[in-house]
Amino acid sequence: MEIITAVKGFKDILPPETDKWRHIEDTAKDVFRAFGFSEIRVPLLEKTELFRRGIGESTDIVEKEMYTFFDRGEESLTLRPEATASIIRAYLEHTLHAAESVTKLFTIGPMFRRDRPQKGRYRQFHQIDVEILGPDDPCTDAELLIMVIHFLGRFGLKSLNLEINSLGCLQCRPAFREAVVRFVRGGEEGLCGDCRRRIDTNPLRVFDCKVDTCRQIISSAPRLTDFICAACREHFSEVGACLTRFEIPYTVNTAMVRGLDYYTRTTFEVTTEFLGAQNAILGGGRYDHLVRDLGGPDISGIGFAIGLERLAALIPEEARGGAEGPFLFIAALGEKAVDKGFSLCNALRMRGVRVEMEYKTRSLKSQMKRANRLNSAFVLILGDREIDQNRALLRNMRASTQEEVGLEGLEETIIKIAR
Ligand code: HAM
């Protein structure tokens, strides 16, 4: 019979890769705690309207990538393609803004986008998503970026580029948008079909097109820098000044537009050449109208999301942490030995020591092979004859030494070594 495979673009994460993921998540929680963030958990399924309104009707995500279905023909629901809209929905639904003027939240979990799967791009992928709701000052933008760099620094990653840009505000962006439309209309026939369509719906997305001819055309298009209002300019230059003050290298990428419509002012991405075409480890930015657009009060926000698959791909196996083998492998030889070993194994596990053993007695050689494969620190060799003599052999696998130990008080002896 044929086996059933996973859905295309949906990936299993197997051990020991899961150890690396846990290490990343633990590090995130550790770093975020220091910066005052609390965890929020939001559902995977939301009303479709939330993403239409939040992310924007004319974005690729909403136009063609959402897993949307009618729940028994009654209500349109969507598997979340990102977490920001859901977090703000929860923030408003539970009036978190009434309790605190600054709310710092993070969540970790799967997102779903029906994009064309390729290396680094999946249909179910995972994000560590972080949001600060409340303040709109440039120091908050810098605070978030400092945290990003500190977090990535914990994995010793090299060759990361922090790119920042300002997308302006509702005052200055319309004139920029119009100028871009005027500009691309001049070379319209050189653009790909998608970009030609975008001229009317979402012209700034042309900046993000990967097609060579479009890239060439857009490379000399007007930039927001030529239209940015004084308030946005000052905000952006203060973000830059803060980053310089804390010695965080960055480059300004005036062509960065991001794929979601809610951004205003500061946007950013961290990229690396090691990821190939899908080179962004994380992306984010400020959104000063999203809370209001989702029916809430006038509250600013800024956040980012890290792609866990992409970050994990950059972290070497040795750095995964917590993946060491068992402390003890019990090699039991004979029925009595298995019986005795099973009791000891259980007692030690109850006290938090990682122990492995086999219940079918196999040769010492094959059990030692398995202990080696598991990378066990110690092996307790327990034979029926040794049990009759009230003793066993404890082998230190790292030092390649062994000693005789008495069965009396053996649990305590091992606990002492383990602690
Ligand atoms: P985004 O740029 O769409 O932003 O996604 C953030 C990160 O998620 C990307 O940089 C990438 O690492 C990862 N990612 C996105 N799509 C895929 C995929 N198909 N496969 C694998 N990884 C992927 C957002 O989602 C915003 N909600 C970020 C944000 C939070 N902005 C403000 N707050």
- Which residue in this structure is represented by tokens 């327990």? 382
Q: Are 269 and 282 in contact (CB under 8 A)?
A: yes
Number of neighbours of residue 96 by Cβ within 10 angstroms:
17
Alpha carbon of 229 to ligand 1 centroid (Å): 28
310 lines ligand 1 (CB under 6 A): yes
With a CB cutoff of 8 Å and minimum separation 6, the contacts of 2 are none
Could you tell me if the CB of 291 is within 6 A of ligand 1? Answer: no
| Nearest atom (ligand 1) to Cα of 127 | 8
pLDDT tens-digit readout, 86-135: 999 999 999 999 999 999 999 999 999 999 999 999 999 999 999 999 99
Residue nearest to atom 30 of ligand 1 (CA): 304
Ligand 1 neighbourhood includes 131 CB (under 6 angstroms): yes
Ligand 1 centroid, distance to 339 Cα (angstroms): 53
Count of other CB atoms within 10 angstroms of residue 184: 21
Q: What are the residue ranges of helices labelled H in 115-229?
A: 138-153, 173-186, 193-201, 212-219
Place of tokens 């150890």: 19
Q: Which residues contact 301 (CB under 8 A, 6 or more apart)?
A: 84, 88, 131, 132, 133, 134, 286, 287, 288, 290, 291
pLDDT in tens, 280-308: 999 999 999 999 999 999 999 999 999 99
Ligand 1, atom 11, lies closest to the CA of 307
**In whole angstroms, how large is the CA radius of gyration of the chain?**
28
Can you tell me the distance from the alpha carbon of 392 to that of 405, in angstroms, rounded to the nearest whole number?
A: 5
What spacing in Å lies between the alpha carbon of 305 and ligand 1's midpoint?
5
Give residue 300 CA to ligand 1 midpoint distance, Å.
20
Q: What distance in Å separates the CA atoms of residue 198 and residue 190, rounded to the nearest whole number?
A: 14
Low-confidence ranges of the chain (pLDDT < 50): none
- Residue 326 CB–ligand 1 contact under 6 Å: no
Peptide bond into 16 cis (omega under 30): yes
Which pLDDT belongs to residue 318?
65
What integer pLDDT is reported at residue 273 of this predicted model?
A: 83
Q: How many CB atoms lie within 10 A of CB 281?
A: 25
Which H or E element spans position 233?
A: helix 230-245
> Dihedral through CA 382, CA 385, CA 391, CA 394, nearest 10?
-30
- Predicted pLDDT at 11: 96
Rounded CA gap, 166 and 289, in Å?
Answer: 15
E strands in 16-71: 38-39, 45-47, 68-71
Euclidean distance between CA atoms 114 and 172, whole angstroms: 33
**CA atoms of 177 and 212, how far apart (whole Å):** 22
Distance 153 CA to ligand 1 centre (A): 20
Q: Answer whether 341 contacts ligand 1 (Cβ < 6 A).
A: no
